[in-house]
Amino acid sequence: MYKLIHQDHGARRGEFHTPHGVIQTPVFQNVGTAAAIKGAVSTGDLKELGCQVQLSNTYHLHLRPGDKLIKELGGLHRFMNWDRPILTDSGGFQVFSLASLRKITEEGVRFQSHIDGQRIFMGPEESMQIQSNLGSTIAMAFDECVENPAPYDYVKRSCERTYRWLCRCKEEMKRLNSLPDTINKQQMLFGINQGGIFDDLRVWHMKEIAKLDLPGYAIGGLAVGESHEEMYHILDMVLPHAPENKPRYLMGVGTPSNIIEAVARGVDFFDCVMPSRNARHAFIFTRHGTMNLLNQKYERDMQPIDPECGCEACRNYSRAYIRHLFKAKEMLAMRLSVIHNLYFFNELMERIRQAIMEDRFEQFRRDNVEKLAKRL
């Protein structure tokens, strides 16, 4: 289902065909945790700002409103009125970062809900069942995401178990996709590579999961404590062992510069809460660098955030106005800023795709990696 269209050094320009439409890669997935983008951004807005794939969180939706309810109402696409691809994570990351009183066994994880303290069990089968109920386009494997750095022995045992869990995920998804009342019978499972910052574990794990011939592969357990250099090093080690004819997804990454560096190494899918979370704190991305709109120097600045940007905020409102909205604690401040940052990330990917097609990605990388990280 992945078609490599063009390669420019390590960077790949591809198409990923799904029952909900074709995804042009490299792609940035926009994170709508609880079936909505934080900052009062709707699925209609997402279409306008060029979002191709929305990512929703299995853990959150399982707790509220409940995946069974969403299935009963026709699945997540219908529930939030979004007809393009949706990727759901496995719930694993949230179980390990949000829930309390976790107990991990071979079976899965027992934990308490962060909302009401309810005791819940989630293993590979439960994660697949929930994601099947949601009916997402792409389901992620249930894995353990270990924070970096962690002891070698623990990471080894963990990623061996994550491999066994992946085999169970694959079996369960096959079963679920064959049931008569399944919402999306073509739901695709992506495996997740783990192994901390240990080259041998990472490579062993990637080789093993590659054999399962899944529709796509993610690199998980990065951007959770290690340095950027360690992250790029892991990508350099692991990606040569990822199947070439499958998309590669670097989970939870990252800054514009991280994305460009990862694309250079052959990554196709990204997601991150950074554009929307930072926007809600007046931290803005532009093609000239980053800005903090609360800065006094913008008080009288009637320019748009970025005069070259085509987003709703930049087409209509000034830095001075949006800064005032933040100061006055008006929600509209967050909405306009989130729209801008998401537009910027989606457009950045479009610019990356064009640069690859025109064999000038290395130049694009040199021109932008430092510039985009600059504080204006």
The site that binds its own copies (CB under 8 A) totals a number of residues, namely 41
Query: 290 to each of 55, 95, 293, 350, 368, how far by Cα in Å?
Result: 24, 32, 10, 19, 12
Q: Is 83 a catalytic site residue?
A: no
Using CB atoms within 10 Å of the CB of residue 181, give its burial: 0 to 12 exposed, 13 to 18 middle, 19+ buried.
exposed
Asked whether position 295 contacts its own copies by CB under 8 A, the answer is no
- Our CB check for its own copies shows the closer of 327 and 366 to be 327
Q: Convert residues 58-97 into a mask of x (bound to its own copies by CB under 8 A) and - (unbound).
A: --x---xx---x--xxx---xxxx----------------
- Cβ proximity to its own copies, 39 vs 85, nearer residue: 39
Smaller CB separation from its own copies, 38 or 241: 38
Q: Where are the alpha helices (DSSP H) in the chain?
A: 43-48, 58-63, 67-72, 76-80, 92-97, 124-134, 152-177, 199-210, 228-238, 256-264, 274-280, 312-316, 319-327, 331-357, 361-368
Q: Is 271 a catalytic residue?
A: yes
Query: Would you say 13 or 84 has its CB closer to its own copies?
Result: 84
| Interaction pattern, residues 12-51, with its own copies; x per rule: CB under 8 A | ----------------------xxxxxxxxxxx-------
Give backbone dihedrals phi and psi of 284, rounded to 5 degrees, phi first: -115, 140
Residue 350 CB-density burial (10 A; 0-12 exposed, 13-18 middle, 19+ buried): middle
Q: Spell out the residues 6+ positions from residue 104 whose beta carbon is closer than 8 angstroms to its own.
A: 144
Q: Least distance in Å: CB of 136 to its own copies? A: 16
Selected catalytic residue, list 67, 89, 143, 306: 89
Which residue's CB is nearer to its own copies, number 37 or number 223? 37
Q: Measured from the CB of residue 37, what is the shortest distance to its own copies in angstroms?
A: 7
**Beta bridge partners of residue 15, listed in sequence order:** 3, 24
Query: For the chain, first and last CA: distance in Å?
Result: 41
**Residue written as token pair 């009963």:** 72
Considering the candidates 143, 268, 271, 306, report the single residue annotated as catalytic: 271
Place of tokens 């504080």: 375
Binding mask 298-337 for its own copies (x = CB under 8 A): -xx-x---------x---xxx-xx--xx-xx-xxx-xxx-
Helix H or strand E segment including 292: strand 289-292
Q: How far is the CB of 73 from its own copies (least distance, A)?
A: 6
Active site residues: 89, 271
The contact set with its own copies (CB under 8 A) reads 34-44, 60, 64-65, 69, 72-74, 78-81, 299-300, 302, 312, 316-318, 320-321, 324-325, 327-328, 330-332, 334-336
